[in-house]
Chain A
């Protein structure tokens, strides 16, 4: 039962984006916006991540990848869709290979709109995500307490 929200570690995944949002995501970590003051780390490793941050829409090729990365993250976890493409599919929505937003594949908790999403709004999304992360963590602890032996086995479906 700890304050986990002080340490939200990110996993940044670039779907079929135009890279505009990715540049902004990285900008949030640069000295100007310095997301690290919130305890944010860009881990790159799903095993160590708490927040999955996805930019760009989901296409047929990357859908299983996103799913797998999501599954590899330990609970509690939060998904943030950054940019309009990740939220809905955006300008690419009608492309032949695009499924749409991230929520077509995995459950999304926070939507950060914008084209490209501004660093300020990304940080805002992260702050919302970490509050949710805290809440889920508390629920997770409660669950562990009531269900002896921890959460059930999670099977991968990637």
Chain B
């Protein structure tokens, strides 16, 4: 393991350099395939090694003199890069958010108190799970990206083709993410945190259009604000406790030590910015201008999960405290508000973004409550969400390449026009809210846990939020199914995109079927690690019922479809008051002309659109966050 982890962090970085160097698209494509396969194998080796070693928490790298210096140097390089870019685009004040924390950390490392030697890498069930998500989904997205970016470069000839740069960033991100989820030293975590923020910023600005630049700087300052909070937390904790280990911090937080209170709140705040919770949700929406692979990888499947990961780590320290209440409120409120705003979106990617924010909110709320039950729910939310959102983003991207639009209304009857892509969308959406699939089970557990915790606000948020969630997903699914006479379009989705999508779909269904096994053999030990003890969250009877429902949902339409083929049915035109033009798509107007009819969905953009609701929700959540932090500060000082 001591070799695999540095490999997982450094190999993608080497790949990143390689991507930058190779300017031949074909060669780079092959190299990217190889690289992502090697990353996946690396993760596989890590997992196997770790399981063979007994699947117990592993502490590594106590002596890291050289690495520490490298890390410090990289921080300073990053600071310089960000400052240069900020000055180039005349956003001077944003550079402060990079300079201040970096100098703080540098000061701490060079002149700060002597830390006791301790481990820097920590591997347990949670970090292995994150590694799996990052490795497998990240690898697949890179494979997808090779095909996608080919189409993207062709359709968006107005933008400069900088694919070498794009793939460099993707691989660099993978390396940083591995570093992030395996590190235990807060100083290391800080570096990787900054790296992911900045790569996200660079990817959003990929097209260099004015919209992209505005959005990328918005993402940058929000993420750097979180980074600043993180740096302050680290410095404070280092001076007070003489150590910078995340595990130590969580332990002290969970026993109620006063020293840990402030750092925990600040880190939780940083996590909220990373996970795009209100009031910081706008950066994730703006991030949708980036090419789809980066939306899939950074802005839904992995990077935003970094915040969730940190909150899960902190959960024992949050549970039952004011900080936990704050996190739970912000998360729950974000779940509700983002779900409402998702209804009004007509852009498929925006719907996905809103729903990502909403689901992250639910996970944040789970972490904020911080009991074994909610973490169980949160972990499953994370797994299912990572798979299905990555799949949906990739699918919408591929659909956009084919249809040249991602307007939901253009998806009318997609199942007849682009059967493969529509089917994958269908599975992905079903995974997000329908009964047998995982997200719903997680909601079940989250709801139960919030009743157990007597957190009435969270109960309301979950109940109303999930009612609203079903509206926009059902709407979307119905749109796919509606009959259309638009001509079948040629599916220009590349084979590699299809491979990635196919594997995602299989994983989705596989995880649903293996769900009980996953729960008992992986998540329960994870909870035991975190809380010392954990009982089975889901009763067996419910599991049996779930399996039966899965069978029904898959079997019934199939069987009746087969049965229906044999019954002789008289096909009638649909009802339009008898003035149907003979097809199902038009009618004859009073002038005797054929009028085309388009059946549209409801959106209510003028009532519950982002423009109407975003600002009030941001204000409310800001007030709550500031208020809660004041209360906590009052307790500490």
Contact = CB atoms under 8 A, between A and B. Distances in A.
Task: Report A-B touching, CB under 8 Å.
Answer: yes
Interface of A: 13, 45-47, 64-66, 68-69, 71-72, 74, 149-151, 153-154, 156, 158
B570 A74 contact: yes
Contact of B575 (A46, A64, A74, A156): A46
Contacts of A156: 572-573, 582
Contact of B568 (A66, A69, A74, A149): A149
B541 to A, nearest CB: 41
A155 to B, nearest CB: 9
B578 A65 contact: yes
Contacts of B567: 150
Contacts of B568: 149-151, 153
Contact of B572 (A47, A66, A150, A151): A47
Nearest to A46: B575
Interface of B: 567-568, 570-573, 575, 577-580, 582, 588
Given A149-B568, A150-B568, A69 B578 contact: yes
Given A68-B578, A68-B580, A158-B578, A153 B570 contact: yes
B578 A47 contact: no
Contacts of B588: 64
Nearest to A71: B572
Contacts of A65: 577-579
18 contacts: A13-B578, A46-B575, A46-B578, A47-B572, A64-B578, A64-B588, A66-B578, A68-B578, A69-B578, A149-B568, A150-B568, A151-B570, A153-B570, A154-B570, A156-B572, A156-B573, A158-B573, A158-B578
B577 A45 contact: no
A74 B582 CA distance: 17
Nearest to B571: A153
A60 B579 CA distance: 13
Contacts of B571: 153
B580 A158 contact: yes
A74 B580 CA distance: 17
A58 B91 CA distance: 74
Given A150-B568, A156-B582, A47 B575 contact: yes
A35 to B, nearest CB: 23
A21 B570 CA distance: 33
Contacts of B573: 68, 72, 156, 158
A13 B571 CA distance: 22
Contacts of A158: 573, 578, 580, 582
Which 8 A-B residue pairs are closest in the complex by CB-CB distance? A65-B578, A69-B578, A150-B568, A68-B578, A149-B568, A154-B570, A72-B572, A156-B573
